Amino acid sequence: MDPMRHAWLARRLIDACGGLSAAEGVCRLAKSRLSEFQQPAGGSFMPADVIHDLEAYCGEPLYSRELVAARPWCAVGEGLAEEASEATEAAARLQGLARKLHGALGRNDREAILACCAEVETHIRVLMAAAVREVAP
């Protein structure tokens, strides 16, 4: 990913948080430093913990989703039966969490759901990779 893309993602994430002043209030960096990440010629890239804090605040993985998409991966699993069990158990945890939630969801609820969904998604990807390995000639 080139510096122009990083700068665009930083700007998009900061804007989603309400601008530099708002973003400054939810992460460890001052707005002058955050502003540097929006400049492609500056050579500075947003640290992972700052991305995490800003994404948690705005409620969407705007930057990290792009990072993951730019670097596809294939996990090495333990076998089809084991991976299917892991995926099913993760989905059951998501269902249990969903059953406990009622009414309007708060920020912590949304974060818990997103984390659980990410776990399910990871297990499904590993399961799919295991299935491809086991059926490949």
Q: Report the alpha-carbon distance of residue 42 to residue 3 in Å, rounded.
A: 9
Integer CA distances (angstroms), 90 to 98, 113, 119, 130, in order: 13, 12, 7, 17
Could you report the per-residue pLDDT of 65-113, keeping only the tens digit for each?
A: 888 777 655 555 567 888 888 889 989 999 988 888 877 778 788 888 8
| Banded model confidence at residue 131, pLDDT cuts 50, 70, 90 | confident
pTM exceeds 0.75 for this model? no
pLDDT at 24: 97
Q: Report the alpha-carbon distance of residue 73 to residue 45 in Å, rounded.
A: 22
Could you report the per-residue pLDDT of 6-39, keeping only the tens digit for each?
A: 999 999 999 999 999 999 999 999 999 999 999 9
